[in-house]
Amino acid sequence: MKFKILILALLGFEILSASSFRRSLNACHRGNMAACEEVGVRYITGNGVRVNGYKALKYLSKACNSGVVGACNTMAFIYADGEGGVRQDYSKALYYWKKACRYGDRSACANIDLAKDKLRHHY
């Protein structure tokens, strides 16, 4: 009985997760950039959807270009680590860390040197 309850609870969580994803996606399409960032993060983490790095970048880019600093930083990490099927690209990671740094994200500023170092040793 406990096993059945656990399974039902997990299924319920997945349905709620997918439902909240649709709400965030609709909010993004209506111009809510924080929702676009959330959609992008969910695509890269697989929360409520199948992991898809390219879809993550699409929504994160929309948010980043609107000044959502966290979205820029997340894009940089996707490129730096080559997550979600996206080809690793330290040049793009550096670009987005610089953008996040200009928006005031100190952790992004600190990662600029990391990306520059990787570029020197990687290419």
Which residue numbers in the chain have pLDDT < 70? Answer: 1-16, 122-123
| Residue listed under structure tokens 């990787």 | 118
pLDDT of residue 118: 73
Would you state the torsion angle of the CA atoms of residues 82, 40, 70, 24, taken in this order, to the nearest 10 degrees? -170
Domain at 2-122, CATH class = mainly alpha
Hey, where are the domains in the chain? 2-122
Report pTM.
0.81
